[in-house]
Structure 1
């Protein structure tokens, strides 16, 4: 008998959170971009103010995946929205409904927090994830492109 349990991450899970972030980055061919440490996640998830939240998915008592998210706002509808930063399920545990269960739990949390929607990004080449997102009813945000300001450009703008 197999069982799935979703639970909030605790400080004891910091190394596990970092492990899953690195596993996701490796899958996305972006491992070289991961600079975060356990201390960074301690500040984000358990510091004051708390900047993000995380959950761990356990399959038969063993870690099988995780999610990390935060809340932002929509000025157009005047309500919060839940932004999913990362979801990852171990490749050997995919196909068991773990990802769907994670997104369903995030949807429940979004509604409980008064959110009007959930949003996340996906790499355009990640066909399996895109197909999964379509299967749960997600649609792309047509006409919008994610913009990023970081590194030297962020420093230069801030310096004025």
Structure 2
């Protein structure tokens, strides 16, 4: 049983790092195309597609290495841990990006949000919008653990669904 535990960690780590690297590459592509402030649906969906792909590949490789067997418990472990490791890497990269590569990133992001709020809510005064932005700045730190939590939950769900589809248990005989 301990050998199986090591195997799930190994696959989760490998594919979690792979997801983290592809997340960084995607972010650098956005940055090089000057699209780092883009907030469209496609830009938000692509990281989740990358993560789901990494989890599914990790589970397929695990099942191959485990003589074609995969139980639901290991599927959920692989999904959650792969997502957690990838999210840690992505969050660390974002921290470096927002504080060292482009130190004015968050200020620019808040300015864009301010403009969008003014367009969406013309009845709000500039003072009210500024108060809202200042409150967002105070709670910007919550972004880091929130991303890790959301990715881990997403990984758990993908692991659960993929585990249900791919599950093949060893017979008791």
Q: TM-score, normalised by structure 1?
A: 0.26
Please state which structure has a larger fraction of its residues in helix. Answer: 2
In terms of Rg, which structure is larger? 2
Please state which structure has a larger fraction of its residues in strand. Answer: 1
The answer to which structure, 1 or 2, has the higher relative contact order (CA under 8 A, 6+ apart) is: 2
Q: TM-score, normalised by structure 2?
A: 0.25
